[in-house]
Amino acid sequence: MELSQRQEKILNIVKDEGPITGERIAEKLNLTRATLRPDLAILTMSGFLDARPRVGYFYSGKTGNQLLGEHIQKLPVKDYKSVPVVCREETSVYDAICTMFLEDVGTLYVVQEGGLLVGVVSRKDLLKSSMGNQDLQTIPVGVIMSRMPNIVTCRAEDSLFDAATKLIRNQVDSLPVVREAESGTGMEVVGRITKTTITRAFVELGEGASNV
């Protein structure tokens, strides 16, 4: 977040003299308390300042990068997940390629009845299987997919930061968002998080900061 010149001055005053009341800050800047109220609210809500009744404002000691990191770690996967694109084990590789192209995704989640996750098939998997003179309409996805439990997943209540960390550490393009199946056996796919999801979230954060 980029602060205005007046907000920077307020921050420096509080750093040097805090805790300090809003009235005292206004006096130092030769402004009215009402004029400063929006700036103080922004600095407080952003985490740069803390405020206590009858005490005043004091510096939180956190940098902009620290505050941004804390904010990102609070963003829940459930607010950013998109609809998963799925297929069945018996789906042919040819049909899987068509689905991936039409849906413009890089990963298909392979499910059983009830949406239970059993595997994942990627662009790379489909590319490998298409090499040679094999009849792609006769090869089922179940033959080439990565199977549970060797699939990296995330939950709706996880943070977007944790999901991004899993994407990077495991070098995958997407994560299925799962929850316990009502039957108590297996995981149900309820969404997906992709590298594009993470990029979009950072763009939104940047736009939000520039509009403050």
Tell whether omega for the bond before 149 is within 30 degrees of 0, i.e. cis.
Answer: yes
pLDDT of residue 69: 63
Range of the domain at 28: 5-62
Whether 52 maps to a domain, the answer reads yes
pLDDT of residue 65: 57
Whether 208 maps to a domain, the answer reads no
Whether 114 maps to a domain, the answer reads yes
Length of the chain measured in residues? 212
- 144, 99: one domain: yes
**Alpha-carbon distance values, 155 to 8, 81, 108 (Å):** 39, 10, 18
* Average confidence (pLDDT) over 163-167: 92
Residue 141 confidence (pLDDT) above 90: yes
pLDDT of residue 200: 85
Domain end, chosen from 15, 33, 62, is at 62
- 104, 166: one domain: yes
The amino acid sitting at 52 is R
Whether 37 maps to a domain, the answer reads yes
The pTM (predicted TM-score) of the whole model is 0.67
Instruction: Report DSSP letters for the chain, one per residue.
Output: -PPPHHHHHHHHHHHHH-SB-HHHHHHHHT--HHHHHHHHHHHHHTTSEEEETTTEEEE----HHHHHHHHHHH-BGGGT-BPPPEE-TTSBHHHHHHHHHHHT-SEEEEE-TTSBEEEEEEHHHHHHHHSSS--TTTSBHHHHSEETTS---EETTSBHHHHHHHHHHHT-SEEEEEEE-TTSSSEEEEEEEEHHHHHHHHHHHHHHHHT-
pLDDT of residue 209: 45
Residue 186 confidence (pLDDT) above 70: yes
- 198, 94: one domain: yes
pLDDT of residue 71: 66
Of the CA atoms within 13 Å of residue 161, those in its CB half-sphere come to 8
Number of domains in the chain: 2
- 26, 93: one domain: no
pLDDT of residue 151: 93
- 47, 150: one domain: no
pLDDT of residue 212: 40
Structure confidence by residue, pLDDT tens digits, 196-207: 888 888 777 665
- 18, 120: one domain: no
Rounded CA gap, 57 and 44, in Å? 9
CATH number of the CATH domain containing 48? 1.10.10.10
Whether 131 maps to a domain, the answer reads yes
- 40, 145: one domain: no
> What tokens appear for 29 in the block?
């800047």
- 19, 101: one domain: no
pLDDT of residue 41: 86
- 161, 189: one domain: yes
> What tokens appear for 39 in the block?
């700036």
Percent of the chain with pLDDT over 70: 90
In this prediction, residue 47 has a pLDDT band, given cuts at 50, 70 and 90, of confident
Residue 62 confidence (pLDDT) above 70: no
Q: Is 47 left (phi over 0), alpha (psi -120 to 50) or beta?
A: left
Structure confidence by residue, pLDDT tens digits, 66-124: 556 666 777 899 999 999 999 999 999 999 999 999 999 999 999 998 789 999 999 99
